[in-house]
A and B are shown apart, each in its own frame.
Chain A
């Protein structure tokens, strides 16, 4: 047992580098997220598709050695559409994870009025925001591009580097498309919470942002025949980007340029809201 002398001693030890201090926040954030068993179970379930992908890739590559199972999968081709499907499935799981984790990042500090306390530390406001965004970004990366690239590597190890050279677009698309989705989810989750001020209302607003504009956009596309209105539908926008990045024909009715602009606009608007709301003091004008 440590015996402590009850007196104050100034600190004269070493310090961490200023540009790495914000990394403290995702460490605490991840610990807080995985403290919930329900969340840990849900997150673990998110690896079902990558595991299935590993199995399918293995069976496909060893079809000739696996008898009847191999014969069933003989006609199945692992190409960019397979990886896009994988990413679409993982993106839906990532949305649920973002819905749970994203608003929880700043809600408690906002509700408790603890922002002045945290922002009085030498990490800077954007360091704090980056730290708070990093937690869901890391979790979502673990569900999207990291297992996606692992599958690509696995496929390459079984099929040879020629396959990778012929399909270089796949890892690039997996990485870029995943980050579009991750950026949207993280920024919108943080912005929703910053506006709503509490975890549960932040989640509600985050969910509504994905549903309400999408419904209005789809209704406008159907009623007025304006496909451009789908730009407010986040799933249609990201779906367009996925198809475009993977080199598949775009079937959503939106042009990739509009989709890129829409994603940038959503991210920009969210960043603006975060900038206005995540401040140590609220100035009443």
Chain B
């Protein structure tokens, strides 16, 4: 039954009450880290809830490592570690007891769960605070203990819902470093739902953008990042058309890019000097010349229909 794709969505539709929240979502998450993006109400959390079996699909199917979420929710949950967005901790327990409880509920024997709880708390950096009651933890520590409980049973799919929400820049960077470290382990696939494009861009190799419950874009950002490695963005002032024509004649083509810019694909070692010489010859000011970045932001804006 196991499939190489972590998540397989086939025409997945979900209605909550009379409201359609997901509408015919089809995607195959074959990457190691998948970002789930979209504005509020796009259906990101509902998709996660569906994968965990909290919400039943109205039509279509969703599979996690080949297991149908509708037919075998327990098998799916056994493969998943879930870090919810909300401040969901069980009060009255120390950090280590809390993580141990979650491990035991996931199916670890009591003794092993305790050992694993210590291990994962050390891994996330809460080794010193593990005997403190979880309700005394700061926001950053709460996020880390939630990550620890999601990891304790060694999940194949780690689902992180807004993991860096409320974290200061230092804790955010630390958290993303932990996620990247996890991705070095072959075993783990990470699904991150976030509002923060930067988080997803730093960690993910695939991205699913939802809009009004539908797939607005599903892209392999790792491939796009590789493709964009040799391209540049330019901002010009002056007779742009003449400049572009002369460059085309010299065998260098520029394309229109968002925000009134031009894009140079595959800039070789001699292209930049040629470009600058042509600019001087045409009387064009090169106000900006930089390696292309923020490709995810563009993808997102295009998906939202807001690209300039």
Query: A–B direct touch, CB within 8 Å, in complex?
Result: yes
Is A37 interfacial (CB-CB < 8 Å)? Answer: no
Q: A21-B105, A116-B84, A116-B86 are in contact. Are A285 and B116 (CB under 8 A)?
A: no
Contact between chains at B84 and A7 (CB < 8 Å): no
CB of B276, distance to nearest CB on chain A (Å): 48
Contacts of A15 in B (CB 8 A): 107-109
Contacts of A32 in B (CB 8 A): 92
Partner of B116, one of A11, A119, A121: A11
Contact between chains at A122 and B77 (CB < 8 Å): yes
* Distance of A15 Cα from B116 Cα, bound (Å): 13
Which residues of B are in contact with A by a Cβ distance under 8 Å?
Answer: 16-19, 49, 52, 54-55, 73-75, 77-78, 80, 82, 84, 86-92, 101-102, 104-110, 112, 116, 118-120, 122-123, 127, 146, 149, 151, 153-154, 181-182, 185, 187-188
Contacts of B89 in A (CB 8 A): 112, 114, 117
Q: A21-B107, A24-B105 are in contact. Are A117 and B84 (CB under 8 A)?
A: yes
Q: A7-B123, A18-B107, A32-B92 are in contact. Are A120 and B77 (CB under 8 A)?
A: yes
Contacts of B182 in A (CB 8 A): 8
Contacts of B185 in A (CB 8 A): 8-10
Q: Output the nearest chain A residue to B85 by Cβ-Cβ distance.
A: A116
Which residues of A are in contact with B by a Cβ distance under 8 Å?
Answer: 2, 4, 6-16, 18, 21, 24-25, 28, 32, 108-109, 111-124, 279-281, 283-285
* Distance of A280 Cα from B80 Cα, bound (Å): 16
CB of A93, distance to nearest CB on chain B (Å): 25
Q: A8-B181, A16-B109, A122-B75 are in contact. Are A112 and B88 (CB under 8 A)?
A: yes
Contacts of A28 in B (CB 8 A): 101
Contact between chains at A120 and B52 (CB < 8 Å): yes
CB of A81, distance to nearest CB on chain B (Å): 43
Contact between chains at A116 and B88 (CB < 8 Å): yes
Closest 7 CB pairs of A and B: A11-B154, A285-B17, A120-B82, A121-B105, A10-B187, A122-B78, A122-B77
Q: Output the nearest chain A residue to B135 by Cβ-Cβ distance.
A: A112
Contact between chains at A120 and B80 (CB < 8 Å): yes
Contacts of A18 in B (CB 8 A): 74, 107
Contact between chains at B106 and A108 (CB < 8 Å): no
Contact between chains at A119 and B54 (CB < 8 Å): yes
Contacts of B106 in A (CB 8 A): 21, 121-122
17 pairs, A vs B, C-beta closer than 8 Å: A7-B181, A8-B181, A9-B154, A10-B154, A13-B112, A16-B107, A18-B74, A18-B107, A24-B104, A32-B92, A108-B92, A113-B88, A114-B89, A116-B86, A117-B90, A121-B102, A281-B49
Contact between chains at A118 and B90 (CB < 8 Å): yes
Contacts of B52 in A (CB 8 A): 116, 120, 280
Q: A108-B92, A114-B88, A281-B54 are in contact. Are A4 and B109 (CB under 8 A)?
A: no
Contact between chains at B87 and A112 (CB < 8 Å): yes
Contact between chains at A4 and B77 (CB < 8 Å): no
Partner of B90, one of A108, A124, A284: A108
* Distance of A118 Cα from B88 Cα, bound (Å): 9
Contact between chains at A9 and B16 (CB < 8 Å): no
* Distance of A9 Cα from B122 Cα, bound (Å): 12
Contact between chains at A4 and B118 (CB < 8 Å): yes
CB of B15, distance to nearest CB on chain A (Å): 10
Q: Output the nearest chain B residue to A16 by Cβ-Cβ distance.
A: B107
CB of A276, distance to nearest CB on chain B (Å): 14
* Distance of A23 Cα from B212 Cα, bound (Å): 41
Contact between chains at A13 and B108 (CB < 8 Å): yes
Contact between chains at B123 and A116 (CB < 8 Å): no
CB of B222, distance to nearest CB on chain A (Å): 22
* Distance of A84 Cα from B78 Cα, bound (Å): 47
Contact between chains at A4 and B154 (CB < 8 Å): no
Partner of B104, one of A7, A9, A21, A109: A21
Contacts of A122 in B (CB 8 A): 74-75, 77-78, 105-107
Contacts of A284 in B (CB 8 A): 16-17
CB of A2, distance to nearest CB on chain B (Å): 8
Known interface pairs A117-B84, A117-B88, A281-B54; 20 further A-B residue pairs with C-beta atoms within 8 A, sorted by A's residue number: A4-B119, A6-B122, A11-B154, A13-B109, A13-B112, A15-B108, A24-B110, A108-B90, A108-B92, A112-B87, A112-B88, A117-B82, A117-B90, A120-B54, A120-B77, A120-B82, A121-B102, A121-B106, A281-B55, A285-B17
Contacts of B153 in A (CB 8 A): 11
CB of A52, distance to nearest CB on chain B (Å): 35
CB of B165, distance to nearest CB on chain A (Å): 14
